Amino acid sequence: MSETDDKHAVPDMPDTTGTITMEVARFRPDRESEPSWDSYDVPLRKEWAVLDGLNHIKDQLDGTLSYRWSCRMGICGSCGMTVNGEPKLTCSTFLTDYAPGPVRVEPLANFPVIRDLVVDIEDFMAKLPTVKPWLVSGDEEPAEDSEYRQTPAEMDDYRRYSMCINCMLCYSACPVYALDPDFIGPAAIALAQRYNLDSRDEGNEDRRDVLASAEGVWACTFVGECSVACPKDVDPAGAIQRYKLTAATQAVKDLLLPRGAR
């Protein structure tokens, strides 16, 4: 669209280039035992994300559709769904990219479905605190007005992993998690590394039992799909590989060195 077109565009009636069909997975456990599909035609507007299409359905066509969303700007991490087979944030995935359609929207894979597009995230919520994703400090309480200073280089060590928004697209993409639900999973490990690599943190040893267990990094077979799916470029696969080296080095030290020297 050119500049002049923009000026004349009526705000309430944005450019519509026809419609697109959205095929939406429905599951109403009170009424049916198996998921089914409903099709809806929604306006195909260039600035409409998949989430806008769902909101149109809910507001105009079928108020019974259930799904999660909040911020509409890729920050809250609640709108993750499977769009045409891939885990996506629906607020940052545009309908025009799927034209002429249809667009298939399903709940995130690898999680139990509660209703329609809403999944049960309890498993992730239970695993997350086991890696202590917070700054663990030694016994000494800092004085009231003290600061923990950090250089930009120290911050760069963990910055990438701090971008995680807990959207769980990485769990949905992970074939290991699909096969082994006990796997602690990509985001939890990336978040553990976010603190492990923070110069202010002293929790490495506390996190080790969980991270270096069979259900921690060693469950990962480096498929790498988590890093492909991540909308925030966190690179959980890289975080896991990096911790494998840390854990392996530690295991060798445990084997070779007497207790005191580790």
Partner 1 sequence: MTTKRSPEPFAWLLFSSGGMAAAMLIPVLLLLFGIVFPLGWLSAPSHDRLAAVLTHPVTLLVLFGLCVLALFHWAHRFRYTLYDGLQLRKAAPVIAVLCYGGAAVGSVIAAFVLIRAL
Each as own residue / partner, the long-range contacts of residues 146-150 (CB below 8 Å, 24 or more positions apart, any chain) are 148/200, 150/198, 150/199, 150/200
Closest-CA residue to 194 (of 133, 153, 245): 133
Q: Is 165 an interacting residue with respect to ligand SF4 (CB under 6 A)?
A: yes
Q: Which does 252 bind (CB under 5 to 8 A by kind): ligand FES, ligand SF4, partner 1, none?
A: partner 1
Supply the minimum distance, in Å, between the C-beta of residue 224 and partner 1.
14
Q: Is 79 an interacting residue with respect to ligand FES (CB under 6 A)?
A: yes
DSSP annotation of 61 reads: I
Q: Which helix (H) or strand (E) holds 45?
A: strand 36-45
**Exposure string (b/e) for 146-156, b if CB count within 10 Å is 16 or more?**
eeeeeeeeeee
Q: Is 174 an interacting residue with respect to ligand SF4 (CB under 6 A)?
A: no
The token pair that represents 241 in the structure block = 């590989």
* Residue showing tokens 């280089």: 153
Closest-CA residue to 219 (of 171, 156, 166): 171
* Residue 158 identity (one-letter amino acid): Y
Per CB under 6 A, which region of 76-84, 99-107, 154-162, 189-197 contacts ligand FES? 76-84
* Residue showing tokens 């890289």: 238
The interface with ligand FES within residues 16-75 (CB under 6 A) comprises: 69-72, 74-75
Q: Is 91 an interacting residue with respect to ligand FES (CB under 6 A)?
A: yes
Measured in whole angstroms, the distance separating CA 186 from the mean position of its chain's CA atoms is 9
Nearer to ligand FES, 17 or 70 (CB): 70
Q: Is 172 an interacting residue with respect to ligand FES (CB under 6 A)?
A: no
Q: Which does 99 bind (CB under 5 to 8 A by kind): ligand FES, partner 1, ligand SF4, none?
A: none
Q: Is 78 an interacting residue with respect to ligand FES (CB under 6 A)?
A: yes
Burial (0-12, 13-18, 19+ Cβ within 10 Å), 250? middle
Nearer to ligand FES, 93 or 196 (CB): 93
Binding site for partner 1 (CB under 8 A): 130, 175-176, 179-180, 184, 209-210, 212-216, 218, 221, 244-245, 247-248, 250-252, 254
Binding site for ligand FES (CB under 6 A): 69-72, 74-79, 89, 91
Binding site for ligand SF4 (CB under 6 A): 164-170, 186-187, 190, 229-230, 232, 234, 236
